[in-house]
Amino acid sequence: MTILVTGGAGFIGSNFVLDWVAETGEAVVNLDKLTYAGNPANLASLEGSPLHVFVRADIGDSDTVAKLLRKYNIRAVVNFAAESHVDRSIHGPGEFIQTNVVGTFRLLDEARSYWGELPHDKQRDFRFLHVSTDEVYGSLKPLDPAFKETNPYEPNSPYSASKAASDHLVRAWHHTYGLPVLTTNCSNNYGPYHFPEKLIPLCILNALNDKPLPIYGDGQQVRDWLYVKDHCAAIRRVLEAGEVGETYNVGGWNEKANLEVVNAICSILDELKPRRDGKPYAAQITFVTDRPGHDRRYAIDASKLERELGWKPSETFETGIRKTVQWYLDNTEWVSTVTSGEYRKWIDTNYGSR
């Protein structure tokens, strides 16, 4: 049996592929366009493995998707492929519509025709799992209860609107055509292979390079952090036992204000790799112009996934962030390859005028 993973060279996708091969021993066909966010080096440990086939392609390339589904007798599709960074969606929303909406539509439609040709037992067992985000639910007030699967969709950024649109397409392909879909809506991930445009890896690397730690606005925006390997385990569990047509919220019960997150990173670095001048890394914190339309708070109620499928996160924020900081200290070669070229242009675009 083989599964098709899309976006498997990105942050969560590559963690998922590594975790899948190690935990299940089942083969993966990994389709990834290798945008700036895709990095085959994340999968270097699978080089030569018969359990991993890498194909550079776009999820919107219907011919390639159609061929791969049939050639490898795919039994499930796990769709990570997306443009994922909110700030980039503000600077240029076009790619987000193209990949997250049009690309998901094309992938879904190819999955539907393939599924329609399968014999009955294989049709019954086929799954299309769509990986989505808590951002589709909008922004919470300080005392609001955490997002449940029944919350209305209220996306506020071009990124979250494009993900919301893709979730609706997935839902419709189930209700209209019967495609056996599952959707997961997860909170903020962090951990190994996280591209350093996002808050946590950006601040770890800026701290180590004597650069400012840019905090948007007042730094009191709240995110609910989940260690990436816990997200991978949740997806494995939903794929195995989730009820077709259902959505599952995934989160770590770890709500933190951004300033608290950055201070936690600084304290761990003070301990593991003190600054040469003896000052605390927190001295590098700098408040900069806020993100337009910045959502104030996200929080996930993951009780459905816990109750119905028995999943629970295994890391707390404290254990996960320590492992993450250590990973960046240990993987300097990976860091230097991802922080060259295009990456520098992005840093100028996003931070140059703040």
Residues that bind ligand NAD (CB under 6 A): 6-7, 9-13, 32-35, 37-38, 58-60, 80-84, 99, 103, 131, 133, 163, 186, 188-189, 195
Q: Looking at beta carbons only, is 195 or 311 nearer to ligand NAD?
A: 195
Alpha-carbon gap, residue 90 to 69, rounded angstroms: 34
> Within 20-39, which residues bind ligand DAU (CB under 6 A)?
none
Alpha-carbon gap, residue 246 to 255, rounded angstroms: 25
Alpha-carbon gap, residue 12 to 80, rounded angstroms: 8
Q: Is 32 a catalytic residue?
A: no
Residues ≥6 apart with Cβ < 8 Å to 63: none
Selected from 69, 74, 215, 266, the binder of ligand DAU by CB under 6 A is: 215
Angle 208-212-213 (CA atoms, 0-180°, nearest 5)? 80
Q: Is 87 a catalytic residue?
A: no
Q: Does 134 bind ligand DAU (CB under 6 A)?
A: yes
Q: Is 260 a catalytic residue?
A: no
User: Of residues 32, 83, 110, 135, which has the active-site annotation?
Assistant: 135
Query: Phi/psi zone of residue 134: left (φ > 0), alpha (ψ -120 to 50 degrees), beta?
Result: alpha
Query: Which one of ligand NAD, ligand DAU, none interacts with residue 158, CB within 5 to 8 A by kind?
Result: none
Selected from 9, 65, 76, 86, the binder of ligand DAU by CB under 6 A is: 86
Query: Which one of ligand NAD, ligand DAU, none interacts with residue 221, CB within 5 to 8 A by kind?
Result: ligand DAU
329 half-sphere exposure, CB direction, 13 A CA radius? 15
Specify the amino acid at residue 158. Answer: P
φ, ψ at 85 (rounded to 5°): -105, 120
Alpha-carbon gap, residue 231 to 242, rounded angstroms: 15
Which residues, in sequence order, are bridge partners of residue 250? Answer: 186
Min separation Cβ 191 and ligand DAU, Å: 13
x/- contact string, 161-200, with ligand DAU (CB under 6 A)? --------------------------xx---------xx-
User: Of residues 83, 110, 134, 315, which has the active-site annotation?
Assistant: 134
Pairing between β-strand 247-250 and β-strand 74-79 as defined by DSSP bridges: unpaired
Binding site for ligand DAU (CB under 6 A): 84-86, 133-135, 187-188, 198-199, 202, 214-216, 221, 223, 258, 291, 298
The residues that are catalytic are 134-135, 159
